[in-house]
């Protein structure tokens, strides 16, 4: 005669099996176990603060969901009437339960496919490409992947500013302002020339006033450092930038009085006419030895702000108004005027940093290399 197992021992056995399976999975995946088990937490924490609600799309989705439930209810009611159910009729509660189960199964299926792909990518070290030049490094640690993504963002800025220079034979201003001090537009919108909504900008009107303000109340991933957990918007809803320009190469320019009122809202043409421009030919120290844009970690300004520029001479991770990176980086990333992206240590010689910041200080590459070794 067999003796039935006690419920407590059966549960204990399943807990032991689950623990052994978890240990085996951890040994197999190594450090990647964190991304597999906790990636679903990291993603919403990184993404939700950057999201804005598209109310028309939300309304369309809600209407579609209601129509789905209604059609499902009438379909099931018809089947119930044709069948041999003893229940007097099909109720709405049953339809809602089944609709919820179908949606849950759909989401579970998507999650299972995503988890399977993630598991395969982590084991094969595959690099998952992202659109528009982005990179997603699956086979690397999270910190390394974030840094490579940020370097890719900086490289896009370098490409964009080189395209701007090829088109207009000069770099854009770091910002524009009127002679009475009213701030107009920053390098961010000029660097995006040909992308997003630059043709909708009225350069006679400040960036944060209608109708321009609607364009800047968004968060663009190019300006976001994935290694930082925000903030992504300021108190007025303008998207923040985790990068800033080198004020020595992208200075703030003044628009002469009267030029904005004569109907010519093209600040680019005005600056060219008045000689307020800088081209790569003006960078006497060499484009490969001159900083253009770098990462920042404090006192963020909106990406459209006309004063989103800083002085690299303040040091790296030395001042809230200077350049820097997360603590694990121990430095900052910069795109140079030749389009290359390099990492600079926070321990770099201050003289080297100041000389890298100036476009025509007379320093030579050999001299900068010597100072960097001292």
Weakest mean pLDDT among 47-51, 301-305, 338-342: 47-51
Beta bridge partners of 333: 343
Q: Does the residue 213 lie in any domain?
A: yes
Q: Does the residue 256 lie in any domain?
A: yes
- Rounded alpha-carbon distances, angstroms, from residue 168 to 51, 142, 277, 290: 35, 39, 10, 20
Tens of pLDDT, residue by residue over 198-214, are 567 788 889 999 988 88
Instruction: Give the SS3 label for residue 185.
Output: strand
Q: Does the residue 68 lie in any domain?
A: no
> Number of folded domains in the chain?
1
Q: What is the pLDDT of residue 127?
A: 40
Give the residue-averaged pLDDT of 353-358.
92
Q: Which domain holds residue 156?
A: 136-373
Question: Of 81, 101, 97, nearest to 89 (Cα)?
Answer: 81
Exposure of 126 by Cβ count < 10 A (0-12 exposed, 13-18 middle, 19+ buried)? middle
- Rounded alpha-carbon distances, angstroms, from residue 99 to 11, 35, 104, 105, 363: 33, 32, 9, 10, 70
Q: Does the residue 119 lie in any domain?
A: no
- Inform me whether the pLDDT recorded for 272 exceeds 60: no
Weakest mean pLDDT among 35-44, 171-180, 210-219, 330-339: 35-44
Binning pLDDT at 50, 70 and 90, where does residue 229 land?
Answer: confident
Listed in sequence order, the residues at least 6 apart from 363 whose beta carbon sits closer than 8 Å to its beta carbon are: 285, 289, 355
- Inform me whether the pLDDT recorded for 74 exceeds 90: no
Q: Does the residue 298 lie in any domain?
A: yes
Summary mean pLDDT of the chain: 77
Q: Does the residue 82 lie in any domain?
A: no
Q: Where are the beta strands (DSSP E) in the chain?
A: 127-129, 135-137, 175-178, 183-186, 240-241, 243-246, 252-255, 291-295, 301-302, 309-310, 331-336, 341-345
Pair of tokens at residue 72: 């499902």
User: What's the rounded Cα separation, in Å, for the pair 332 and 147?
Assistant: 10
Pair of tokens at residue 57: 């799309």
Q: Does the residue 106 lie in any domain?
A: no
- Residue 182 φ then ψ, to 5°: -75, 125
Instruction: Say what the pTM is.
Output: 0.62
Q: What is the pLDDT of residue 316?
A: 95
Percent of the chain with pLDDT over 90: 28
Q: What is the pLDDT of residue 143?
A: 74
- Inform me whether the pLDDT recorded for 318 exceeds 80: yes
Q: Does the residue 205 lie in any domain?
A: yes
Positive or negative CA dihedral for 331, 125, 131, 55?
Answer: negative
User: What's the rounded Cα separation, in Å, for the pair 89 and 103?
Assistant: 24
């Amino acid at each position: 005669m067999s003796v039935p197992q006690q419920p407590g021992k059966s549960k204990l056995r399943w807990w032991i099996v689950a623990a052994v399976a978890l240990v085996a999975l951890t040994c197999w995946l190594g450090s990647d176990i964190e991304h597999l088990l906790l990636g679903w937490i990291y993603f919403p924490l990184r993404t939700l603060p950057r999201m804005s609600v598209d109310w028309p799309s939300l309304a369309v989705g809600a209407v579609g969901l209601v129509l789905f439930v209604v059609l499902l209810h009438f379909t099931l009611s018809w089947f119930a009437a044709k069948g041999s159910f003893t229940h007097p009729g099909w109720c709405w509660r049953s339809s809602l339960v089944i609709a919820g189960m179908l949606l849950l199964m759909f989401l579970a299926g998507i999650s299972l496919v995503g988890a399977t792909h993630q598991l395969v990518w982590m084991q094969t070290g595959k690099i998952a490409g992202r659109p528009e030049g982005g990179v997603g490094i699956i086979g690397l640690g999270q910190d390394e992947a974030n840094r490579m993504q940020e370097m890719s963002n900086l490289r896009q800025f370098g490409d964009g500013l080189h395209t701007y220079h090829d088109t207009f034979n000069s770099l854009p201003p770091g910002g524009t302002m009127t002679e009475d001090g009213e701030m107009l537009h920053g390098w961010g919108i000029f660097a995006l020339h040909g992308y997003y909504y630059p043709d909708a900008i009225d350069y006679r009107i400040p960036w944060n006033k209608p109708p321009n303000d609607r364009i800047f109340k968004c968060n663009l991933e190019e300006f976001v450092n994935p290694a930082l957990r925000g903030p992504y918007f300021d108190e007025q809803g303008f998207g923040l930038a985790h990068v800033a320009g080198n004020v020595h190469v992208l200075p703030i320019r003044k628009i002469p009085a009267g030029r904005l009122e004569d109907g010519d809202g093209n600040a680019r043409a005005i600056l060219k006419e008045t000689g307020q421009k800088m081209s790569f030919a003006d960078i006497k120290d060499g484009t490969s030895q001159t900083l253009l844009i770098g990462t920042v970690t404090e006192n963020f300004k909106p990406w459209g702000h006309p004063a989103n520029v800083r002085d690299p001479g303040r040091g790296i991770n030395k001042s809230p108004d200077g350049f820097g990176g997360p603590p694990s980086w121990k430095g900052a990333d910069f795109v140079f005027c030749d389009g290359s992206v390099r990492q600079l240590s926070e321990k770099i010689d201050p003289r080297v940093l100041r000389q890298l910041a100036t476009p025509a200080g007379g320093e030579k590459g050999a001299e900068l290399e010597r100072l960097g070794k001292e």
